[in-house]
Amino acid sequence: MRNIRLEDATINVDGKWLSVDELKEMISRKMESGDMKFADLAAALEELNTALENVHIIEETLVLSKEEYEKLKELGGEDDQAIVRKAVMAYIGKYKETPHLR
């Protein structure tokens, strides 16, 4: 399984982050030139499409006090989106482990 970034819908192929459209274009160019060695690109495209079919995107504005934001940053992460994702995933894990919270 390759690395996939769901946030920007890309997959890492040979060190490059490629989108669905970029993969399709690369496959098309190979076919047009007679190069039929694109199985790896096709597999990456299928893997990325499968991953994208199984996600749900939530776009939300989150307003925090400076103190709350600093507590959130303590979780770590490269950017705000990564930090919030980590916090949500931690909460989901806790929620699954604690049925009485339902």
pLDDT in tens, 37-93: 999 999 999 999 999 999 988 888 999 999 998 888 887 767 888 888 888 888 888
Alpha-carbon distance of 7 to 52, in angstroms, equals 10
Note the pLDDT of residue 79: 86
Amino acid at 64: L
* Angle of CA points 95, 101, 102, to nearest 5°: 95
pTM given for the model: 0.66
Note the pLDDT of residue 102: 40
Note the pLDDT of residue 101: 43
Q: Average pLDDT for residues 20-48, to the nearest whole number? A: 96
Residue 28 contacts residue 18 (beta carbons within 8 Å): no
Region class of 31: left (phi > 0), else alpha (psi between -120 and 50), else beta: alpha
Sequence-ordered alpha helix ranges (H) in the chain: 20-32, 39-53, 66-73, 80-97
Domain ranges of the chain: 4-53, 66-101
